[in-house]
Chain A
Amino acid sequence: MTVPVLEAWNITKRFGDDVAVDKVSLSVEAGTAVCILGPSGAGKTTFIRCLNFLERPDDGYVFIHGETLGFTRVGDVFHEVSGRQLARQRRLLGMVFQQFNLFDHMTALENVIEAPCKVLRKTRKEAVDMAMSLLERVGLANRADHYPRELSGGQQQRVAIARALAMQPHVLLCDEPTSALDPEMVQEVLQVLGELVADGMTMVAVTHEVGFAREVAHRFVFMERGAVIEEGPAKNLTTTTATQERTRAFLQKVL
């Protein structure tokens, strides 16, 4: 049995007395795409942010290729690692945000080469070559010297995907990648993400696009009130294939 690329065990996150994520576990094999579905406030975003420690889980652990994220294990004790060490581990997890979060003071190209140059210490030429081929891949090579504010939402999100890919992550985490987009632009972003999965990229995506989940993802996870209610294959996901009443009710509304 191969070790999953990404494994989350018993992730729990509280905000004050609120339990946003309640003992959620997830295991993602290499080359698979998992979509996390669920109503607003279900803790989907908090959970995916826990996966790369943008949100520190109060309990539970995340493993990347079997290595604990943010801790080193000595016997039965998990010791918190330094910020530098955590940063090194995070390179394996790319993240795409709902609000894109492109660096506003850099062009599209500069956004993509920033981390390869500063974190991986690649030469500028090497980084630019790779960045241009990534921008080509998301269809934006001709926008390389444009600043984020000069790009449409869909274009910004595609640059953000290229930026995440530039670090050659083993898993791409997508936090509602199309929720801030105009309806027309949703498709161009979903298409890029679909192509990535087809090329073998491992992906975890929080999304409201059930159609995308059905066509592209291998598995779905349905969350409500911080907990996983149902998990299963995403292909042919419909109101009848869902086993849980709550999942069916949700799908009925969004399909």
Chain B
Amino acid sequence: MEERSTGTASGGAPATTAGLDHTTRRMRRHVGTKIAGVLAAAILAFIVQGLARNGAIQWSVVSQYLFSEPVLTGVLRTLLITVSAIALAIVLGVILANMRLSSNGVLRAVNAVYVWFFRSVPLLVLLVLAYNFSLLYSHLSLGLPFGPSFVKFTTTDLTTALTAAVFTFGLQQAAYTSEVVRAAIMSVPKGQVEAAESLGMTYWSAMRRVVLPQAARVAVPPIANETINLCKATSLVAFVSVPDLLYSVQEIYARTFQVVPLLVVATIWYAVIVSVMTLGQWQLERRMQRNRRVRRSRVVMEDVS
């Protein structure tokens, strides 16, 4: 055993490695992959042709309405609902996640009921319920349970269709987001909190400065996913006559009967919004990965030069 290894090391020129200097290597050509690529490109070309030449789409109508005032207002409103709802969902989600992770049984139970309820009710049902909130409860008052109340509101004044929509999407999304946040928090090693606490930080400042920034790295991809999902789900507000992107488009084609071109207008805008969100997600992920940047390569390059 030992003899053989020293024999090779001292250049005993065994037959296996003789003449290797003159060889070249040829890699596999991956023919199948290339054929698949050509086929996919062809199919894509057919689809593009089908869309471009399809008279029913009426591209002139599409371009006529793409930047029209009601459509742009609709886009803004869709964005407004999405952004407010996801902001509400994230704040509430972080609180709910901490309730679930708390040692207090009552808080855990409240979280469980909340998540159960909002995951059980279909979004559309919830939306219509919220819109008709004033039928369910005619007055809202601030006071003690079963006791005196201090302030009283009439619910019809409070619930416009828009606020109903924002709260519906925000509250339901919070149930899902809280689970994402909980998973992300649990992914941060316990030692991180212990280190922070041993330095005299309180639990909440450890959460804010140490745990959440690290949890965010895990939570960003699924939350971006949910935001994109939510953005498209907001088209349901058409049911309660909030003039968002889809509703504005519907209003136009109800008048002009140009159904397909106007739905194409809506499709284009949704695609644009989702693209921008995706870019935002990439940016955010890049920034959060900064502590994983490969500094070694720079060091190696310095060594070489």
Contact = CB atoms under 8 A, between A and B. Distances in A.
Interface of A: 52, 54, 83-84, 87-88, 90-91, 93-95, 97, 99, 101-107, 114-115, 118-119, 146-147, 149-150, 160, 163-164, 167, 173
Contact of B195 (A87, A95, A105): A95
A167 B199 contact: yes
Given A93-B198, A101-B189, A119-B199, 6 more contacts: A54-B198, A87-B200, A115-B200, A118-B205, A147-B292, A149-B292
Contacts of A106: 291
A119 B195 contact: no
B149 interface: no
A118 B197 CA distance: 12
A106 B291 CA distance: 7
Contacts of B209: 114, 118
B202 interface: yes
The CB with the most chain A CB atoms within 10 A, among B200, B203, B217, is that of B200
A87 B201 contact: yes
B198 A95 contact: yes
A104 B196 CA distance: 12
A202 B296 CA distance: 38
Contacts of A160: 195
B199 A114 contact: yes
A150 B295 contact: yes
A151 to B, nearest CB: 11
The CB with the most chain A CB atoms within 10 A, among B191, B201, B202, B292, is that of B202
B162 interface: no
Interface of B: 189, 191-192, 194-203, 205, 209-210, 213-214, 217, 291-292, 295-296
Contacts of B195: 95, 97, 101-103, 160, 163
A118 B201 contact: yes
A83 B203 contact: yes
A105 B197 contact: no
Nearest to B214: A105
Nearest to B206: A87
B200 A119 contact: yes
Contacts of B189: 99, 101
B194 A97 contact: yes
B197 A90 contact: yes
A104 B192 CA distance: 9
A146 B292 CA distance: 10
B295 A104 contact: no
B296 A115 contact: no
Contact of B200 (A54, A90, A101): A90
Give the interface SS of chain B, mostly helix, strand, loop or mixed: helix
Contacts of A94: 198-199
The 7 closest A-B pairs by CB, nearest first: A95-B198, A91-B200, A101-B195, A115-B199, A101-B191, A147-B291, A87-B202
A87 B295 contact: no
A88 B296 contact: no
Contacts of B291: 104-107, 147, 149
Contact of B191 (A99, A115, A150): A99
22 contacts: A54-B194, A84-B202, A90-B200, A91-B199, A95-B194, A99-B189, A101-B192, A101-B195, A103-B192, A103-B195, A105-B213, A105-B217, A114-B199, A115-B196, A119-B199, A119-B200, A147-B291, A147-B292, A150-B295, A150-B296, A164-B199, A173-B198
Contacts of A173: 198
B200 A88 contact: yes
Nearest to B188: A104
Contacts of B200: 87-88, 90-91, 115, 119, 167
A123 B198 CA distance: 21
A149 B290 CA distance: 12
Contacts of B201: 87, 115, 118-119
Nearest to B295: A150
Contacts of A146: 295
A104 B198 contact: no
Contacts of B199: 90-91, 94, 114-115, 119, 163-164, 167
B133 to A, nearest CB: 38
Contacts of B203: 83
Contacts of A91: 199-200
Nearest to A117: B209
Contacts of A90: 197-200
A137 B292 CA distance: 27
Contacts of A150: 295-296
A146 B196 CA distance: 19
B141 to A, nearest CB: 33
B268 to A, nearest CB: 39
